[in-house]
Structure 1
Amino acid sequence: MIQKWFKNIGPGTLVAAAFIGPGTVTLCTLAGVNFGTNLLWAMLLSIFATIVLQEMAARLGIVSQKGLSEVLRHEIAKPGLRNFMMVLILSAIVIGNAAYEAGNISGGVLGLETVLGNVVIDFGSFSLNILSLCIGIIAFVLLFIGNYKVLEKILVVLVLLMSVSFVITAIITKPNLIAIFKGMLVPSFPENSLFTIIGLIGTTVVPYNLFLHASLVKEKWKSDEDLSYAKKDTFISIVLGGMVSMAIIISAAGIPSGSINNGADLALGLEPLYGAFAKYFLAIGLFAAGITSAITAPLAAAFVAKGCLGWKDGMKSLRFRFVWGGILFLGVLFSSIGIKPIEIIKFAQVANGMLLPIMVGVLLWVMNKKTVLGKYGNTKLQNFFGLCILVITIFLGLRSILKVFNIL
């Protein structure tokens, strides 16, 4: 039975790996440093929302044997509305993934900089970060060749090592359990915490994962009878990933406020476990997380474009490579021009949080189409949870926009 379960571990682990990236480590550390355990409720909400939405995406992929963007293209009857939705989704995914890719590459740079220091070349008023360029070249070569599974497994192991380290650290620091449960169960909005809350949601409920998950499950499972395996895979993977995110916040809660000024300072969260060697463990983990995410984000954007535009050719076609190449280029560009990596990562997660309501609304509409899912469409309870998530993401997105323009 255990062997059969391990055989059916699949896309859920990739979804979890996508949000245990450099953005998660950075933002969860900043949340712990600046607000203690007060924002654990936002992470708990994010985990619940991710389980609900990714289960829908997985169910859609298995039952329809199509990706989310393919289903939308076939189900929207009016050409004008269909074209508008395709442009909207493509724009949202391209903008979101470009920002996310910049955060991924910047996360890998943070890891390298903790060991190598800054490697920057100045061209007059313009500065080029060589480490960003190096990570971009590695990701390009791996994507172009298409044979990166062995390297990806090695990198995932390194990310897991960092993740387990944070969990152990959270335990050995002997945190206040009452404060932890209060932070998880009692929502609060400390001063200047709004963008951090949206970022925590954006770094966990990753919009492009909805498209990627639906596309991946249909490659692994072909029958409706496999839905139970997909649900277990999704639930277990995301819960474990969420526990790691919470452990990072708890570990960082003991770091003095104002201590995080650069990438190396993120290692303060691991010092209780590794002491002076903490920065090296963090460096390896951030670099690995950055590279794995730098590969998956452009691929996801290319799959979305393929589905939206109805391309029939494969992954090695020129236009498929053009899409992921464009996302990768933008990521390298934004992470190379002198903006602080931590600021890029924060922006990427906030951008994801603001794009999320669009993706949730689209998914809910599809999940209620009987022509697509038949008896496997959403139940009333699933719709209720989905609508609650949609309302919360709209509320937080609007608040962030109002705050940006100093209206709130």
Structure 2
Amino acid sequence: MIKNWFKNIGPGPLVAAAFIGPGTVTVCTLAGVGFGYALLWAMLLSIIATVVLQEMAARLGIISQKGLSEVIRSEIKNPVFKTLAIILILSAIVIGNTAYEAGNISGGVLGLETIVGKPSISVAGLSINLLSIVIGFVAFVLLYIGNYKLLEKVLVSLVILMSIAFLITAIITKPNISEILKGAFIPKFPKDSILTIIALIGTTVVPYNLFLHASLVKEKWHHKADLKFARKDTIIAVVLGGLVSMCIIISAASIQTQDISNAADLAKGLEPLFGSFAKYFLAIGLFAAGITSAITAPLAAAFVASGCLGWSTNMKAKKFRAVWMFILLVGVISSSIGIKSIEIIKFAQVANGILLPVIAGFLIWIMNKQSVLGIHKNNVKQNLFGFIILGISILLSLATLNKVFHLNLF
């Protein structure tokens, strides 16, 4: 049975790998340290929203055998709207993923540094972190081979490693189960928690994952009969990913100090309480989170750019490779010399904040088109869930704009 499940495992774990990056680890850490178990319900809500939207993206990919950006190009007939949609998508996904890539690589480096120290060399007065180059090289090799099955196996292994590492870290902290259940099922809004709640949802319901999923399912599955495998794959992987995020919140909640700003501080905070082995489990999880996101972010951007611009989405096509190579290169350089591209990341946050309701709205619209999906279009229940999530994504978008531009909307 397990062998059969592994055979039918698909892009779901890659989607989970994409949303559990170092940014997610940091947000979950801050949520746990700042509010204990009180915000676990926001993660539960995020998991449900992600399952609903990713199932739609997977269904679209299998039935149409096209990526989401390809469908956008073909279904928006008005040239002005089409151009605006393409510009917004390219800005948010391609530029956004370029901005986040340095953080993905740096997160993987933080995990490795806990285990092997900080190897660096000095070139022209600049201190270059060698671990950034190592992670960049591993990501380059896996992406350049362009073999979906190999990529899938490596990322599934890393996701399993990450899941085990964070789960063990959470168990070590001996959490209070009844308090966890209260935090997960009884929504609370502690003082000053609204931005953390928004961040927890925003870091899980990720626009670029919708594009990545729709593009990857057609690499794995080609027949309508495969929908049941895709649905099961999506639910298992996203729920597992959400549990990993919850484990990070639970681990962080056990730390008594408030002087924690990222996952590296979480590792230091756990050490005096639970010994050095807890720190190492966390380091392995952080490394896996960093390297998986460092691979999936450039891959998603390449699928999006190729679909939007009408290029081949074959993973070995020259233009496809050029996109992910550029993003990976910028990420490696920025990470290895320690550039903090705050302004670009702010731009990416705004673009992604605007993009989520736009893409969620477009996805719901397209999922109701019989001409695209036939009998596999959305039913009433799927639309109901979809519109609730659309409403949440609009609030998220307003909150992101509020956070970046200090508009005092909340």
What TM-score do you get using the length of structure 1 for normalisation?
Answer: 0.87
C-alpha separation in 1, matches of 2:55 and 2:164: 25
Question: Which aligned pairs between 1:288-307 and structure 2 lie closer than 5 A?
Answer: 288-307=288-307
Displacement of 1:156 = 4.7
Q: Which residue of 1 aligns with 2:118?
A: 117
Secondary structure of the structure 1 residue equivalent to 2:189: coil
**Given the superposition, is the C-alpha separation of residues 336 and 196 from structure 1 closer, same or farther in structure 2, using an over 3 Å criterion?**
farther
Secondary structure of the structure 2 residue equivalent to 1:204: coil
RMSD: 3.2
**Given the superposition, is the C-alpha separation of residues 230 and 375 from structure 1 closer, same or farther in structure 2, using an over 3 Å criterion?**
same
Q: Which residue of 1 aligns with 2:393?
A: 393
Q: Which residue of 1 aligns with 2:49?
A: 49
C-alpha separation in 2, matches of 1:379 and 1:262: 42
Q: Which residue of 2 aligns with 1:368?
A: 368
Deviations 1:164-200 (A, max 9, x none): 2332443453423343233222333334433332322
Structure 2 letter corresponding to 1:325? M
C-alpha separation in 1, matches of 2:344 and 2:90: 22
Matched, 1:207 2:177: no
Q: Which residue of 2 aligns with 1:232?
A: 232
| Worse overlay, 241-250 or 185-194 | 185-194
Q: Which residue of 2 aligns with 1:92?
A: 92
Displacement of 1:218 = 1.7
Deviations 1:127-177 (A, max 9, x none): 654433443344234433436966874565355334223324434534233
**Given the superposition, is the C-alpha separation of residues 241 and 375 from structure 1 closer, same or farther in structure 2, using an over 3 Å criterion?**
same
| Worse overlay, 129-138 or 10-19 | 129-138
Displacement of 1:75 = 1.3
Secondary structure of the structure 1 residue equivalent to 2:203: helix
Q: Which residue of 1 aligns with 2:20?
A: 20
Secondary structure of the structure 2 residue equivalent to 1:91: helix
The answer as to whether partners of 1:175 and 1:250 remain within 8 angstroms in 2 is yes
The answer as to whether partners of 1:53 and 1:210 remain within 8 angstroms in 2 is yes
Aligned residue pair count: 407
**Given the superposition, is the C-alpha separation of residues 74 and 346 from structure 1 closer, same or farther in structure 2, using an over 3 Å criterion?**
closer
Q: Which residue of 1 aligns with 2:242?
A: 242
**Given the superposition, is the C-alpha separation of residues 129 and 117 from structure 1 closer, same or farther in structure 2, using an over 3 Å criterion?**
closer
C-alpha separation in 1, matches of 2:314 and 2:30: 41
C-alpha separation in 2, matches of 1:157 and 1:130: 24
Displacement of 1:375 = 1.5
| Worse overlay, 55-64 or 146-155 | 146-155
Matched, 1:275 2:295: no
Displacement of 1:352 = 4.8
Matched, 1:329 2:334: no
The answer as to whether partners of 1:163 and 1:244 remain within 8 angstroms in 2 is yes
Structure 2 letter corresponding to 1:288? A
Secondary structure of the structure 1 residue equivalent to 2:291: helix
Secondary structure of the structure 1 residue equivalent to 2:91: helix
**Given the superposition, is the C-alpha separation of residues 360 and 166 from structure 1 closer, same or farther in structure 2, using an over 3 Å criterion?**
same
Displacement of 1:381 = 1.7
Question: Which aligned pairs between 1:108-147 and structure 2 lie closer than 5 A?
Answer: 108-115=108-115, 116-117=117-118, 119=120, 121=122, 128-146=128-146
Q: Which residue of 2 aligns with 1:359?
A: 359
The answer as to whether partners of 1:90 and 1:304 remain within 8 angstroms in 2 is yes
The answer as to whether partners of 2:95 and 2:348 remain within 8 angstroms in 1 is no
Secondary structure of the structure 2 residue equivalent to 1:117: coil
C-alpha separation in 2, matches of 1:160 and 1:269: 24
Secondary structure of the structure 2 residue equivalent to 1:179: helix
**Given the superposition, is the C-alpha separation of residues 252 and 128 from structure 1 closer, same or farther in structure 2, using an over 3 Å criterion?**
same
| Worse overlay, 26-35 or 193-202 | 193-202
C-alpha separation in 1, matches of 2:331 and 2:185: 36
Q: Which residue of 2 aligns with 1:105?
A: 105
| Worse overlay, 40-49 or 307-316 | 307-316
C-alpha separation in 2, matches of 1:9 and 1:148: 12
C-alpha separation in 2, matches of 1:141 and 1:218: 23
**Given the superposition, is the C-alpha separation of residues 351 and 138 from structure 1 closer, same or farther in structure 2, using an over 3 Å criterion?**
farther
C-alpha separation in 2, matches of 1:9 and 1:192: 40
Secondary structure of the structure 1 residue equivalent to 2:275: helix
Q: Which residue of 2 aligns with 1:29?
A: 29
The answer as to whether partners of 1:364 and 1:383 remain within 8 angstroms in 2 is yes
Which segments of 5 or more consecutive residues in structure 2 lack a partner in the other structure?
Answer: none
The answer as to whether partners of 2:107 and 2:287 remain within 8 angstroms in 1 is yes
The answer as to whether partners of 2:92 and 2:352 remain within 8 angstroms in 1 is no
What TM-score do you get using the length of structure 2 for normalisation?
Answer: 0.87
C-alpha separation in 1, matches of 2:134 and 2:13: 27
Secondary structure of the structure 2 residue equivalent to 1:222: coil
The answer as to whether partners of 1:110 and 1:287 remain within 8 angstroms in 2 is yes
Q: Which residue of 2 aligns with 1:160?
A: 160
Displacement of 1:58 = 0.8
* Identity rate, percent: 69
Q: Which residue of 2 aligns with 1:8?
A: 8
Deviations 1:201-249 (A, max 9, x none): 2332222111111112122222212211211111112112211211221
Which segments of 5 or more consecutive residues in structure 1 lack a partner in the other structure?
Answer: none
**Given the superposition, is the C-alpha separation of residues 155 and 85 from structure 1 closer, same or farther in structure 2, using an over 3 Å criterion?**
closer
**Given the superposition, is the C-alpha separation of residues 313 and 199 from structure 1 closer, same or farther in structure 2, using an over 3 Å criterion?**
closer
C-alpha separation in 1, matches of 2:347 and 2:335: 12
C-alpha separation in 1, matches of 2:367 and 2:151: 36
**Given the superposition, is the C-alpha separation of residues 173 and 246 from structure 1 closer, same or farther in structure 2, using an over 3 Å criterion?**
same
**Given the superposition, is the C-alpha separation of residues 322 and 246 from structure 1 closer, same or farther in structure 2, using an over 3 Å criterion?**
same
Displacement of 1:298 = 0.6
Secondary structure of the structure 1 residue equivalent to 2:307: helix
The answer as to whether partners of 2:307 and 2:313 remain within 8 angstroms in 1 is no
